[in-house]
């Protein structure tokens, strides 16, 4: 079974993804700057879904090592430093999945606004720091942490997956479809992450105004929602 590392796995988004994927039977390792904190988060997940769940905790670089998929869920302000920390431990052939959104709180601004990124998007910035032989995709930006954490209900959201190679995007299909209520949507090239990331800020504003947990649905696609 392939191992999935979630870097920033003690945060709300990372822990929510870990909870859903562990419940689906994936082998998960949570990464944190503090290995003890990561293991405590893993223990909490095991307590929720059963001790047999394959969830462990480790320091970020150790979590990234020997993982076939490495998911980055850290705040934008910590993205580059985190990538520098783990890049030497990722193996060729691994897939780096960026979930980072460049929101204004990184510089003290509003969560309903995105920052301009010199590379074009946070995902494209991640690609600049990925080691040779490691592909980069982006996904799960618009799936709220609160919805992920609520195992009693499906997640009402499409997942827009971006990456420059179709094969890389398809590697994420099983992870998306393992989460009840989520639908895989091939969103094309990694540069399209610029639009997908910006949607997160829009959804945060909607959530504030309507006091809800909104998501994205793409109409007109074949197959079930």
Residues in the chain: 225
Q: Is residue 219 part of a domain?
A: no
In a domain, 215, yes or no: no
Residue 218, domain member (yes or no): no
pLDDT at 59: 97
List 70's β-bridge partners, or say none: 5, 96
Q: How remote is the C-alpha of 5 from its chain's centroid?
A: 10
CB 138 within 8 A of CB 123: yes
Give the span between the Cα atoms of 150 and 51, in whole angstroms. 19
pLDDT (tens, 9 = 90+) of the chain, 225 residues, equals 689 999 999 999 999 999 999 999 999 999 999 999 999 999 999 999 987 899 999 999 999 998 999 999 999 999 999 999 999 999 999 999 999 999 988 888 898 999 999 999 999 999 999 999 999 999 999 999 999 999 999 999 999 999 999 999 999 999 999 999 999 999 999 999 999 999 999 999 999 999 999 999 999 998 777
Looking at the structure of the chain, the number of domains it has is 1
Whether residue 161 contacts residue 138, with contact meaning beta carbons closer than 8 Å, is answered with yes
* Cβ contact 14:97 at 8 Å: no
Whole-structure pTM value: 0.96
The pLDDT, as a whole number, for residue 17 is: 98
Q: Is residue 221 part of a domain?
A: no
**Is residue 46 assigned to a domain?**
yes
Q: Is the dihedral of CA 161, 166, 168, 174 positive or negative?
A: positive
Predicted local confidence at residue 203, as pLDDT: 96
CA 132 to chain centre: 21
Domain range for residue 196? 3-210
Tell me if 83 is assigned to some domain: yes
Q: Report residue 130: phi and psi, to 5°.
A: -75, 140
Q: Count H helices, E strands: the chain?
A: 9, 8
The pLDDT score that the predictor gives to residue 52 is 82
How far is the C-alpha of 55 from the C-alpha of 19, rounded, in Å?
A: 9
| Residue 216 resides in a domain | no
Q: Tell me, what CATH number does 201's domain have?
A: 3.40.50.720
At residue 107, the pLDDT reads: 86
Dist. CA 115–CA 102, nearest whole Å: 5
The verdict on residue 111 lying in a domain is yes
- CB within 8 Å of 114: residues ≥ 6 apart: 101, 102, 103, 104, 197, 198, 200, 201
- H or E segment to which residue 96 belongs: strand 95-98
């Amino acid at each position: 079974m392939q191992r999935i590392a979630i870097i920033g796995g003690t945060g709300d988004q990372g822990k929510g993804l870990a909870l859903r994927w562990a419940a689906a039977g994936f082998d998960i390792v949570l990464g944190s700057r503090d290995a003890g904190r990561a293991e405590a988060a893993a223990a909490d997940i095991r307590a929720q879904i059963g001790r047999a769940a394959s969830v462990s905790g480790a320091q970020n670089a150790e979590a990234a090592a020997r993982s076939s998929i490495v998911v980055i869920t850290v705040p934008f302000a910590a993205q580059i430093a985190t990538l520098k920390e783990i890049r030497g431990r990722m193996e060729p052939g691994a897939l780096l999945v960026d979930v980072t959104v460049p929101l204004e709180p990184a510089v003290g601004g509003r969560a309903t606004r995105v920052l301009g990124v010199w590379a074009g998007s946070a995902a494209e910035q991640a690609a600049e720091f990925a080691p040779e032989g490691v592909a980069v995709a982006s996904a799960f930006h618009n799936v709220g942490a609160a919805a992920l954490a609520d195992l009693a209900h499906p997640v009402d959201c499409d997942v827009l997956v971006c990456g420059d190679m179709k094969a890389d995007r398809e590697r994420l299909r099983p992870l998306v479809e393992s989460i009840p209520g989520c639908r895989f949507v091939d969103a094309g090239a990694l540069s399209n992450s610029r639009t997908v990331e910006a949607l997160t800020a829009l959804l945060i504003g909607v959530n504030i105004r309507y006091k809800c947990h909104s998501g994205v649905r793409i109409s007109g696609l074949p197959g079930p929602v």
